[in-house]
Amino acid sequence: MGSYVYKVLLLFKRKFKIKEVEPPLDVKEAFARYSESDAHLSADQLRQFLVEFQGEEGCTLSVAEQIVEQVLHRRHHLAHYKGQGRLTLDDFFHYLFSDDLNGPIKSQVHHDMNAPLSHYFIYTGHNSYLRGNQVTSESSDVPIIKALQRGVRVIELDLWPNSTKDDIKVVHGRTFTTPVPLIQCLKSIKDYAFVTSPYPVILTLEDHLTPALQTKVAEMVTQTFGDNLYYPDSEGIEEFPSPEALKHQILLSTKPPKDCLESKNMKENGNVPSKGSDSLEEEASGKDMLDSVAELEAHNDTSNGDQDDKDGDVCDCKSRKLIAPEYKSLIAMHTGKRKGGLKETLKVVADKVKRISLSEEALKEAAVAHGTDVVRFTQKNVLRVYPKGIRVGSTNYNPLVGWMHGAQMVAFNMQGHGKHLRLMHGMFRSNGGCGYVKKPDFLLSPHNEVFDPKRTLPVKTTLKVRVYMGDGWRLDFSPTHFDSYSPPDFYTKVYIVGVPADATKNRTKIKKDNWVPVWDEEFVFPLTVPELALLRIEVTEHDITDTDDFGGQTCFPVSELRPGIRAVPLFNKKGDKYKSVKLLMRFQFV
């Protein structure tokens, strides 16, 4: 019994022991090379390292001096060296391991923002007002605020009459979700639209309103948004404006209300389109409340698109000739009808642009049968993709299918979690997190051969990824979080997600009993389409008796990676950044 107690005490003692870790060999060699074997690195020598080793060609001596001063102030509470400060090896190591000073991607907007909106991937939410699942959760402005703070630029609102038919509520229709007043959502959008990014916010509206309530919506948005509301010059445009031209503007996107007289004549002549003729998804039955969850799922699967995916007509021809002309005049991005089959819908019109919506399943079918047509359509027009209706738990789908075909608005449930949402977060960390990412040139040029995602291309570049070490768990987690009796056993998984030919994954060895694991392993990834590749990283704690524990994750577009030795911050499952947990890695393109 005494021997057992002694062993347990030893195990408890082990978990508090933190091993001192030396800088990796590459760091030592770089320091020796650029300090010219001196014990210190000057600002000018640091500048040389940044230009030659880290690939920061535009780095100036002034920038290097600022880095030296910041590092010395943090480590030694010393500053104001006026360019005379120098870094020791430990100072240099500290700098390299500081993600705010030496992160893996640029933190500023650096893409050309003067192209039409159709030339960008746009950070897009689905049912942006829901706190949880698609069936019974609460509608609120809180998830809208969180999405805008994260950089989301497309907010979806489902508009329905309230119980007394005199006001507008936002709610997932014909479900058990609770509503939130539209005005509350609009005020929060006004307050938070541009706190993270100055580039335009697009509101996609699923409109189930009467003409009188459509007029009320027009009044609400004009009064609430004021000068931030974008007024289109005309109903039809040849090309979308650019994000730069639309800074601090809020745009409305929905199906324009029909002319009542035209609708009436069509009905009298028997020419009303049948349900589903405008889309690949049919309108659900008109029940006010579905009888079961199974029916609810079926409804969701067929009605999760925007108003352009439906053929419902709210026209009250007896009361007025036109449906809310004020409302109609505010619609900046028209959603188009889909008549005559998808191939016909995807035809590019020379003097007019539009937006259409497809469910994730419809996109998969279109990708197989009309892949290059989809790419050609998205060179000028906007395609929105939304989750299939059976995702009642607010899960998401693989966004790469949409991006490979040029879809600008790949709409996601931002309140969901999982690997697909992490890919979405990763994509939109690029370009300074502004919510707009310029599409690769091969998805844009109408003069070259149209990109075919199914075709395997030759290797264009090779990415080398070295995982040196990790640190920070001892600061962000309790000593017993991963293991009650010993330090954690960490390993790192490294994935490439992209076109099928590029997708692959690797993992490091397990480092046992160490809060500061050192792996120093390199992985090589040949890439055929690096412009669409994402690097996904996940640290896991090995458990021999139970499921492995999550230790952090991150994701970045390969095209955004800065070469050299970089500090890579990790995030929790929800996508929130840990305070201290990070990896030291090296990226090389050969």
- Residues carrying an active site annotation: 126, 172
Q: Taking Cα atoms as reference points, which of 200, 123, 125, 117 lies closest to residue 158?
A: 125
Residue 2 φ/ψ, nearest 5 degrees: -60, -40
Q: Classify the C-alpha dihedral 392-395-396-397 as positive or negative.
A: negative
The helix (H) or strand (E) run that includes residue 205 is: strand 201-207
Query: Token pair of 586, please?
Result: 């090296």
Calculate the alpha carbon distances from 281 to 46, 278, 298 in Å: 59, 8, 11
C-alpha neighbours within 13 Å on the C-beta side of residue 557: 23
Per-residue DSSP letter, 166 = S
d(CA 271, CA 288): 27
| Residue 394 zone, left/alpha/beta (φ > 0; ψ -120 to 50; rest) | left
Residue 179 to residue 339: CA distance in whole angstroms? 33
Question: Which pair of tokens denotes residue 543?
Answer: 């458990």
Taking alpha carbons only, the member of 430, 427, 376, 436 closest to residue 406 is: 376
d(CA 172, CA 158): 6
Amino acid at 134: Q
Residue 38 amino acid letter: D
Q: In sequence order, what are the residues at sequence separation of 6 or more whose Cβ sits closer than 8 angstroms to the Cβ of residue 515?
A: 18, 19, 471, 473, 474, 487, 488
Say if residues 345 and 362 touch (Cβ distance below 8 Å): no
- What Å distances lie between residue 20 and 142, 515, 516, 520, CA to CA? 44, 10, 8, 16
With left for phi above 0 and alpha for psi between -120 and 50, is residue 437 left, alpha or beta? beta
Buried b (16+ CB within 10 A) or exposed e, 93-119: bbbbbbbeebbbbeeebebebebbbbb
Query: Using CA atoms, how far apart are residues 577 and 575, in angstroms rounded to an integer?
Result: 6
List b or e across 355-372, with b for residues whose CB sees 16 or more CB atoms inside 10 angstroms: bbbbbbbbbbebbeebbb
